[in-house]
């Protein structure tokens, strides 16, 4: 039976949710304050990470924690003023990063990641977006032999456990694979399964165009105006109020703003991140993660995109892109990156949960209200499978994976 659905949030997760529903014959309106793919989904490293079976844990090594507290390196930055409010959730995140708890989370996380490529592939074809995607994987590079050996051992264990493909490159093989490298490195782990995208925001926009071809409607509006009605739910848009039987909250880092209005106190927080493009030189041939530096360099349409690690701050606090400067100082030692494209770095926010699993399922206390957010670093990777799971839950039929581990009710 077809139904009508409002999907709030036009990032990768929300757009894929709307597209899956439309392809199944439902009447869908996708609502966002901006166009599709113009917020968090625009700013990532453009990697569909099939190998990312393990969610990002909070570091527990004493030396890493010391660097974090001292504000050293490019991998992490924080706002002192935000820490008192964020501390309880960060503490829960740290506790859930204990090896035993992290292993349990990985089992559930890997079940979603398993479908990353197989769910993106039909949407890429439906969207005519093959020109944006290369099936070349990405490399993690290491600066010293000890780090390379440790990285290779960990990669081998993960690959064997989850049926993934990888290759270990020594210094000579890496230099041949990346001839623009300006200094010798110890080597790299090349993850072979991931796909890379030359314009992440454009891929979301192509999916949104496929949504419109399938009969869906895209509207600009204010998700915070969502209200319950006798029929279901309604939201204000520039074209007037739109109502539907169901509403899906897929607002990424802004989901908490809306869910709190309806009385939900979910343990969410954000990791902000930055990027900047550089041109005029020669960068890596495929995306490259500098293990020691904590940043990614990815060749894209606008130039070589440098993306940073995490910044703990309030989602709407003014930008403090110190990580970009720190990462660039390290990256320019590896590649010639002379000319920044943007006058100022771009900033976005990753929507995170304290147990590292997304929130996918029905709102506990409101009929026909659904949640689909909290994908942290992997919303771009997991959008299609999360969208399919959401559509299946709304229809009440069999689901691609067991939804229980991601249910909002797990937080009480």
CATH code for the domain in which residue 247 is found: 3.50.50.60
Would residue 2 count as lying in a domain?
yes
Would residue 348 count as lying in a domain?
no
Would residue 406 count as lying in a domain?
yes
Q: What is the pLDDT of residue 75?
A: 82
Would residue 304 count as lying in a domain?
no
Q: What does the pLDDT profile of the chain (412 residues) look like in tens digits?
A: 678 999 999 999 999 999 999 999 999 999 999 999 999 899 999 999 999 999 999 987 777 666 666 666 678 899 999 999 999 999 999 999 999 999 999 999 999 999 999 999 999 999 999 999 999 999 999 999 999 999 999 999 999 999 999 999 999 999 999 999 999 999 999 999 999 999 999 999 999 999 999 999 999 999 999 999 999 999 999 999 999 999 999 999 999 999 999 999 999 999 999 999 999 999 999 999 999 999 999 999 999 999 999 999 999 999 999 999 999 999 999 999 999 999 999 999 999 999 999 999 999 999 999 999 999 999 999 999 999 999 999 999 999 999 999 999 999 8
How many angstroms separate the Cα of 407 from the Cα of each of 67, 360, 404, 410? 35, 5, 5, 6
Look up the pTM and report it.
0.96
Give residue 217's domain range.
1-50+198-265+356-412
Would residue 228 count as lying in a domain?
yes
Q: How many domains does the chain have?
A: 1
Task: Give the whole-angstrom CA distance, residue 311 versus residue 305.
Answer: 18
Q: What is the pLDDT of residue 256?
A: 96
From the number of C-beta atoms within 10 Å of its C-beta (0-12, 13-18, 19+), residue 256 rates as buried
Q: Which residue has the tokens 């490259």?
A: 288
Would residue 16 count as lying in a domain?
yes
Would residue 371 count as lying in a domain?
yes
Would residue 167 count as lying in a domain?
no
Q: What is the pLDDT of residue 68?
A: 65
Structure tokens at 158: 């993960």
408 and 285 Cβ atoms separated by less than 8 Å: no
Q: What is the pLDDT of residue 79?
A: 94
């Amino acid at each position: 039976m077809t139904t009508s659905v409002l999907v709030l949030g036009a990032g990768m997760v929300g757009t894929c949710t709307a597209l899956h529903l439309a392809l199944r014959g439902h009447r869908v309106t996708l609502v966002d304050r901006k166009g599709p793919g113009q917020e968090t989904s625009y700013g990532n490293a453009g990697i569909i990470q099939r190998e990312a079976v393990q969610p990002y844990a909070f570091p527990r090594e004493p030396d890493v924690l010391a660097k974090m507290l001292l504000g050293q390196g490019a991998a992490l930055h924080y706002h002192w003023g935000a820490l008192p409010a964020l501390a309880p959730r960060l503490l829960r995140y740290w506790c859930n990063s204990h090896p035993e708890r992290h292993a349990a989370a990985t089992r559930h996380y890997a079940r979603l990641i398993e479908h990353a490529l197989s769910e993106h592939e039909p949407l890429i074809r439906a969207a005519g977006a093959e020109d944006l995607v290369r099936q070349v994987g990405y490399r993690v590079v290491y600066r010293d032999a000890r780090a390379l050996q440790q990285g290779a051992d960990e990669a081998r264990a993960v690959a064997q456990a989850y049926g993934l493909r990888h290759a270990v490159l020594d210094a000579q093989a890496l230099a041949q694979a990346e001839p623009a490298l300006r200094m010798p490195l110890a080597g790299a782990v090349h993850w072979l399964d991931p796909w890379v995208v030359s314009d992440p925001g454009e891929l979301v926009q192509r999916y949104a165009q496929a949504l419109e071809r399938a009969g869906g409607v895209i509207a600009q509006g204010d998700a915070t105006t969502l209200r319950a009605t006798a029929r279901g739910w309604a939201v204000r848009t520039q074209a007037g109020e739109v109502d539907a039987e169901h509403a899906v909250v897929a607002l990424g880092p802004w989901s908490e703003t809306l869910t709190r209005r309806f009385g939900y106190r979910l343990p969410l927080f954000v990791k902000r991140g930055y990027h900047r493009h550089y041109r005029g030189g020669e960068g890596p041939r495929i995306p490259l993660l500098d293990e020691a530096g904590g940043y990614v360099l990815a060749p894209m349409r606008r130039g070589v995109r440098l993306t940073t690690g995490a910044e703990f701050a309030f989602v709407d606090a003014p930008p403090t892109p110190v990580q970009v400067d720190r990462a660039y100082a390290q990256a320019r030692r590896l590649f010639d990156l002379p000319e920044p494209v943007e006058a100022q770095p771009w900033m976005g926010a990753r929507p995170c949960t304290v147990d590292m699993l997304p929130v996918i399922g029905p709102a506990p206390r409101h009929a026909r209200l659904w949640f689909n957010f909290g994908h942290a670093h992997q919303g771009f990777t997991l959008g299609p499978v999360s969208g399919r799971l959401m559509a299946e839950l709304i229809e009440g039929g069999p689901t691609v994976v067991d939804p229980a581990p991601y249910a909002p009710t797990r937080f009480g």
